[in-house]
Amino acid sequence: MNIEETKQKIIENLKGVHDPEMDCDVYNLGLIYEVNVGEMPDTKK
């Protein structure tokens, strides 16, 4: 999975998190300002 696919998957999952008081997901409600995904360092030695 590349960085863009990972970012889209995170956003898709955030849209499944609902604010119980607003009856809306936290992403479309505007509580998430941006999603940053970077390369993970290689930890295998």
- Residue 38: the pLDDT is 86
Amino acid type, 23: D
- Residue 30: the pLDDT is 93
- Residue 41: the pLDDT is 74
Instruction: Give 6: exposed, middle or buried? Use CB within 10 Å, 0-12, 13-18, 19+.
Output: middle
Domain ranges of the chain: 1-38
Phi, psi of 21 (to 5 degrees): -85, -30
- Residue 45: the pLDDT is 67
- DSSP assignment, residue 5? H
Strand partners, 24: 19
- Residue 25: the pLDDT is 95
pLDDT along the chain (45 residues), means of 10: 92 95 93 89 73
Distance (Å) of CA 32 to CA 8, 17, 20, 26, 36:
13, 11, 16, 7, 11
- Residue 1: the pLDDT is 79
- Residue 42: the pLDDT is 74
